Structure 1
Amino acid sequence: MILQRSLPYDVSAPRMLPGVSPLGDAPWFLVDDAYGAQMAERLRLMSEHRADVIATAQPDPETLDRMMDAVLAHLPPGFDLSGATVTCPDGRRVGIDRKDPFGTLGQILQDDVCLLEKRGDEHVLTGAVLCFPASWRLSEKIGHPLTHIHVPVKSYTDDIARRVQRLFDGVRPGRPIWRFNALWYEDPKLHQPRSETSPRPVTEAGQTPYLRSERQVIWRLPDSDAVLFTIHTFVLARKDVPGTAEVA
């Protein structure tokens, strides 16, 4: 069981979808009290189930280089970048392998990293390291556009789909935006893949012991239409959550 003790934002006030705000001066990536435990689980998943948590669909090689440069340039305090090696907050040293960008980032960051590149009128998921899916499967989404990715989400209407695509088109380099969700779960496990044909049963907030919340950042890569969508997953026991509101 890997849990955080607190959240860096207030989940008690519901927000309408897509519920985004400017990230401002806040860090793109976070390191919290579960870093060591979450990273151990990420390493296990990438070692034992790599095909389930890392996938690509013909990403542009130059875009992958931009992605690596952008992420490494925005590592928060606690990391040390020296040459082609990153020393992580838990003391591990990770070699930067540009031939395996998602495998490399998956060893460094708590965050899952999804790369979406413009293909025609929509952004398509062309690569990701997704160790902590919240009721979806990377294999069902890789190579597909945003509208397909959100098919099982009942509240994701055609109007919201258009608004989200406009957000991805409009976000500017150096001006990332962010949002959060917050849902109650019976199981605190971080790796919870689920097929879109078998959605997660929804339970009442007052009957479930764990709150799962994702801090999601949308970041436009320099000189590119490509966007990074990063996901930092928090799981808290009910006693550590102020209030019991459920936010989608």
Structure 2
Amino acid sequence: MREILQTSIPYDFQTAKPLPGIAPIGQEGWLHQDEAFAGQMACRDELLTQKRGRVLALDAQAVPAAQELLDEVLAQTYPGQVSQVDRPDGVTVHIDRDDPLGTLGRIVQEDFCILQKIGDEHVMTGAVLCFPASWTLSEKFMRPLIGIHDTVDSYDAGIAKRVQRLFDGVKSGRPMWRFNALWYVDPDLHQPRSIHDRRNKPDPAKADYFRSERQCILRLPQSNAVVFSIHTYILARRDVPNDENSATP
């Protein structure tokens, strides 16, 4: 059990919002960096080296979108760095455009899922997912939105239609965001779990760690693909406000 923790979360996670709970992103931008950067990036490096097949998947049709996403992230986080990235933790990462998701997974804290419109639905055609919160990439890869969320109890037909309209309507240059908030008994960032082995949600009063994902949705202007990014925050109970005992999906 490895503790890689933040001491605060940069948004109000105490106010529960019903699904899908989406709002426009303000001036803070859609990519974040925090005090857990070095620890999270070391964990990502390890996962992408030792468990690459479990944390990365990319269909051929999504390669141009993944390369476009890499260029977008580089422009925002490491402007001017062309052949390599010098991370704030002192690690140098080679920029490999033939491995766009592998590169992305090693330069920022966010996980990324690429969804492309196939027929009437958006399908996950690529992802680098180092920090899953009780789901597995292999079971969601190449599945549509409704299939990706089939284990979320509150994700009914009505919510599914609203989310599909959101993915259809999100505009380039106007990203959206939401968050979830869950109690966990351990702080591990990498917590894959099969749909056949559902997590037993702990009593918040007895759980030691609070996990929240800042999830952003944006459209890539050239490929028209939709990107779902996930920045994971984990707090020890001592750093969670005393009145925090709620959770959102």
Coarse TM-score class (shorter-chain normalised)? over 0.9
Q: CA deviation at 1:82?
A: 1.9
Whether the aligned pair in 2 keeps the contact of 1:110 and 1:232 (CA below 8 Å) is yes
Report what 2:54 is aligned to: 52
Give the equivalent residue in structure 1 for 2:125: 126
Partner of 1:172: 171
Report what 1:107 is aligned to.
106
* Aligned-partner Cα distance in 2 for 1:17–1:174: 23
Residue 6 of structure 1 is matched in structure 2 by: 8
Q: Is the 8 A contact 1:11 1:245 kept in 2?
A: no
Structure 2 contact 62–114 (Cα < 8 Å) conserved: no
- TM-superposed CA distance for 1:80, in Å, is 5.3
Identical-residue share of aligned pairs (%): 52
4+ long deviations beyond 6 Å: none
1:18 paired with 2:17, answer no
CA distance, structure 1, for counterparts of residue 79 and residue 116 of structure 2? 29
Q: How many residues align?
A: 245
**Counterpart AA for 2:4:** I
> 2: distance between equivalents of 1:219 and 1:139?
23
Change (3 A) 1:36 1:200: same
**Structure 2 SS opposite 1:59:** helix
Call closer, same or farther: CA 1:85–1:144 in 2, change over 3 Å. same
Question: What is the alpha-carbon distance in structure 1 between the residues aligned to residue 192 and residue 64 of structure 2?
Answer: 30
Unaligned runs of 5+ in 1: none
Q: In structure 2, how many angstroms separate the alpha carbons of the residues matched to 1:62 and 1:237?
A: 39
Q: Which residues of 2 match residues 152-163 of structure 1 at below 5 A?
A: 152-163=151-162
- Give the distance between the partners of 2:182 and 2:89, measured in 1 at CA: 29
Structure 2 match to 1:69: 71
* Aligned-partner SS, 1:6: coil
Q: How many Å separate the matches in 2 of 1:81 and 1:158?
A: 45
Give 2:115's aligned amino acid: L
The answer on whether the counterparts of 1:24 and 1:175 sit within 8 Å (CA) in structure 2 is no
Q: Which stretch of structure 1 is more off in the superposition, 87-96 or 33-42?
A: 87-96
SS in 2 for 1:90: coil
Matched AA of 2:19: L
